Amino acid sequence: MAVHIIDAKGLKCPWPALLAGRMARGIKGGGLIILETDDAAAGIDIRHLCHERGLILQEETADGRVRTFSLEVPPQQSGKP
């Protein structure tokens, strides 16, 4: 499974989720997106993105102000608009 990392620190809502959604559309055959952000509101947008796109939120962690989201892009969802 390919791992794709997005450093969205310094970007505010809705940019972290938009970047993750754009990357998910380009992943073929499934993969994992690691999204790092310091936007406190990102969790809401990420959950909505997962629900709308069929992504799986595997893990959410926080280290100080930085939150890290691990999003699985299932093979059947890869490339979905």
pLDDT tens per residue across all 81 residues of the chain: 899 999 999 999 999 999 999 999 999 889 999 999 999 999 999 999 999 999 999 999 999 999 999 999 998 644 555
Q: Are strands 66-73 and 31-37 parallel, antiparallel or unpaired?
A: antiparallel
Homologous superfamily (CATH) of 2-77 is TusA-like domain (3.30.110.40)
For the chain, first and last CA: distance in Å? 21
- What pLDDT score was predicted for residue 81? 55
pLDDT, position 1: 81
